[in-house]
Amino acid sequence: MTALLPLIGAVLLATLPKSAELRAKQFAFGTTLVTAASAIAMAVQFQRDNTDLQFVEVRSWIPSFGINYAVGIDGIALVLILMSVILAPIVILAGWNEAQGGRWSVKTFYILILVLETMMIGVFSATDVFLFYVIFEAMLVPVYFLIGGYGTGERSAAAVKFLLYSLFGGLLMLASIIALYVMSGDQGGHTFDLAKLANLEMSSTTQNFLFLGFFIAFAIKAPLWPFHTWLPDAAQSATPGTSVLLLGVLDKVGTFGMIRYCLTLFPEASKTFTPVIIVLAVISIIYGAILAIGQKDLKRLIAFTSISHFGFITMGIFAMTSQSQSGATLYMFNHGFSTAALFIVGGWMIARRGSSTISDFGGLQRVTPVMAWCFFLAGMSSLALPGLSSFVSEFLVLVGTYTRYPVAAIIATVGIILAALYILIPVQRALHGPTTPGNENLPDLNLREKVAIAPVLAAIIALGFYPAPLLNVINPAAMHVNSQLGFTDPVPTVEGK
């Protein structure tokens, strides 16, 4: 039901006249707030020790193919839905004026955002593989128009690149889905029910191929090296708000899909491919970090840091220990907030300066202290400073991975050192040092901007000190995933005993 709220809002919004820009914004903001409230109300009712899917709803959709509108959430999905619905109003408030200068009206921008929010909730809660695929593909369309219509620079090329990469991955997944569907027909009736498909019997060769169909689609989405090349372009061209939704939420669909679909549907193949995937993840961590260091453009920099972060998440998922699994989900949540903070504050800096080149900034600490502190805090969260939320998740992922793949964990730790470089260099160049000519009169954050960024920073700090509420929800679900795979945590051995 929560999923439908933004859609209803979008339809109502469509009826507003084009000229009522302010009304459209207020209305969209209100809708996302109501949605967030309703999702939080749902989260309160969530029974956290129950590993079954909750809030299950099943309706027949296309009975002749055995397709249902079936939704339900576990702890992992709940956390991601919460993240999406909380980020949506923040994005709207933070980027109050970013729809101006687009190809179409301001109203269209907010309609697209609201439609996208509906799909984000839907994609995390779908338990019917077909429904998931439909939303997975359909959500490309609003993002495509958001980047191509409201972005900057080479926006249409970036939008097309994004769309083609994603479509290609999606079609590979479609081939796998068709195979699953046909096999389910041979084994007791056509179905797309996730739980039933998980029990299909198939040869290991088939399983491997089908796994790859799903995994490549998700690896493109989440961007894992070498499928990442669309992301920096898209992030550079999109508006900051769109980037937050793209990197913060949409790309999580990839890592979420790895947990929900790759691991559940193809446990054997997942184990077969784990070494390869861990290697790719480690490459992503290092490669993303090194390229981030070399970036001159602020938005591209954030995009490359995300590639590094997604490497951590993927590594945590496929290390398949309870710590790494919980850590990966917590990482997804925290990455959503820290990227949001970076993009939002970065977006304000870029909008004020009229340039996104890092060297154009300088001395912002003196001119605009509040904004500079916000950016600093966001950056610290990105490099996982202890006391901030991402530290907890990064630590969990590394510890969890170490117990099974010590070498990978050690190499990944290098990524943390590189992270210090890629964050501290821009912080130093942009915030400190002499004031670059032209920056003297930049205004500091206004009240709206302060209100928008406050909850994000508050969450980053609060969850850094006290992550228990989230971990309590995530842990049972993560344990459940691993136990379905038949994995137990390796017992730590002590030398000499």
Partner 1 sequence: MVFNSPTLEYSLLAPILIILAGALIGVLIEAFVGKTRRPIVQLAVALTSLVLALIQVIRIRDLSSTTAAMGSVVIDGPGLLFQGAILIIAIISIFLIADQDNFTSSAAALPGSEEERQATQSGTVLTEIYPLTLFAVAGMLLFPISSDLITLFVALEVLSLPLYLMAGLSRHRRLASQEAALKYFLLGAFSSAFFLFGAAYLYGYAGTVSFAGIHAAVVGGTGNDIILLLGMAFVAIGLLFKVGAVPFHAWSPDVYQGAPTPITGFMAAATKVAAFGAMLRIFYTVLGEAQWQWRPFFLVIAIITMIFGSLVAISQRDVKRMLAYSSIAHAGFLLTGVIALNKAGLEASIYYLFAYGVATVGAFGIVTLVRDSSGEVSDLNRWAGLGKRSPWVASAFAFFLLAFAGIPLTSGFIGKFAIFSAAYESGATSVVIVGVLSSAIAAFFYIRVIVLMFFTDATEDGTSVVIPSILTRLTIIISLAITVALGVFPAPLLDFIKPLAIFIR
Amino acid at 261: Y
Report the residue from 178, 407, 417, 468 that binds partner 1 according to the rule CB under 8 A.
178
Q: At its nearest, how many Å lie between partner 1 and the CB of residue 62? A: 5
Which of the residues 110 through 139 are near partner 1 (CB under 8 A)?
Answer: 133-135, 137-138
Which of the residues 352 through 391 are near partner 1 (CB under 8 A)?
Answer: none
Stretch that binds partner 1, among 32-40, 75-83, 154-162, 324-332 (CB under 8 A): 154-162
Q: Does 167 bind partner 1 (CB under 8 A)?
A: yes
Secondary structure in 3-state letters for the chain: CCCHHHHHHHHHHHHCCCCCHHHHHHHHHHHHHHHHHHHHHHHHHCCCCCCCCEEEEEEEEEHHHCEEEEEEECHHHHHHHHHHHHHHHHHHHHCCCCCCCCCCCHHHHHHHHHHHHHHHHHHHHECEHHHHHHHHHHCHHHHHHHHHHHCCCCHHHHHHHHHHHHHHHHHHHHHHHHHHHHHHHHCCCCCCEHHHHHCCCCCHHHHHHHHHHHHHHHHHHCCCCCCCCHHHHHHHHCCHHHHHHHHHHHHHHHHHHHHHHHHHHCHHHHHHHHHHHHHHHHHHHHHHHHHHHHCCEHHHHHHHHHHHHHHHHHHHHHHCCHHHHHHHHHHHHHHHHHHHHHHHHHHHHHHHHCCCEHHHCCCHHHHCHHHHHHHHHHHHHHCCCCCCHHHHHHHHHHHHHHHHCHHHHHHHHHHHHHHHHHHHHHHHHHHCCCCCCCCCCCCCCCHHHHHHHHHHHHHHHHHHHCCHHHHHHHHHHHHHHHHHHCCCCCCCCCCCC
Report the residue from 25, 155, 221, 228 that binds partner 1 according to the rule CB under 8 A.
155
The number of angstroms, rounded, from the C-alpha of 297 to the middle of its chain's C-alpha atoms is 21
Q: Does 148 bind partner 1 (CB under 8 A)?
A: yes
Residue placing its CB nearer to partner 1 in the complex, 46 or 209: 209
Q: Does 160 bind partner 1 (CB under 8 A)?
A: yes
Residue placing its CB nearer to partner 1 in the complex, 154 or 440: 154
CB 445 within 8 A of CB 370: yes
Please tell me the count of residues contacting partner 1 according to CB under 8 A. Answer: 35
Q: At its nearest, how many Å lie between partner 1 and the CB of residue 142? A: 12
Q: Does 172 bind partner 1 (CB under 8 A)?
A: yes
Residue placing its CB nearer to partner 1 in the complex, 179 or 414: 179
Residue placing its CB nearer to partner 1 in the complex, 239 or 393: 239
Residue placing its CB nearer to partner 1 in the complex, 65 or 465: 65
Q: At its nearest, how many Å lie between partner 1 and the CB of residue 231? A: 19
Report the residue from 55, 96, 168, 395 that binds partner 1 according to the rule CB under 8 A.
168
Site string for partner 1, 31-60 (x = CB under 8 A): -----------------------------x
Q: Does 69 bind partner 1 (CB under 8 A)?
A: no
Residue placing its CB nearer to partner 1 in the complex, 83 or 111: 111
- The rounded distance, in Å, linking the Cα atoms of 291 and 286 is 9
Report the residue from 17, 185, 226, 386 that binds partner 1 according to the rule CB under 8 A.
185
Q: Does 149 bind partner 1 (CB under 8 A)?
A: yes
Report the residue from 104, 290, 420, 442 that binds partner 1 according to the rule CB under 8 A.
104
For the chain, how far is it from start to end, CA to CA, in angstroms?
56
Q: Does 206 bind partner 1 (CB under 8 A)?
A: no
Q: At its nearest, how many Å lie between partner 1 and the CB of residue 156? A: 3
Q: Does 16 bind partner 1 (CB under 8 A)?
A: no
Residue placing its CB nearer to partner 1 in the complex, 4 or 451: 4
Q: Does 468 bind partner 1 (CB under 8 A)?
A: no
Q: Does 181 bind partner 1 (CB under 8 A)?
A: yes
Residue placing its CB nearer to partner 1 in the complex, 89 or 151: 151
- Binding site residues, partner 1, CB under 8 A: 60-65, 103-104, 133-135, 137-138, 140-141, 145, 148-149, 155-156, 159-160, 163-164, 167-168, 171-172, 174-175, 178-179, 181-182, 185
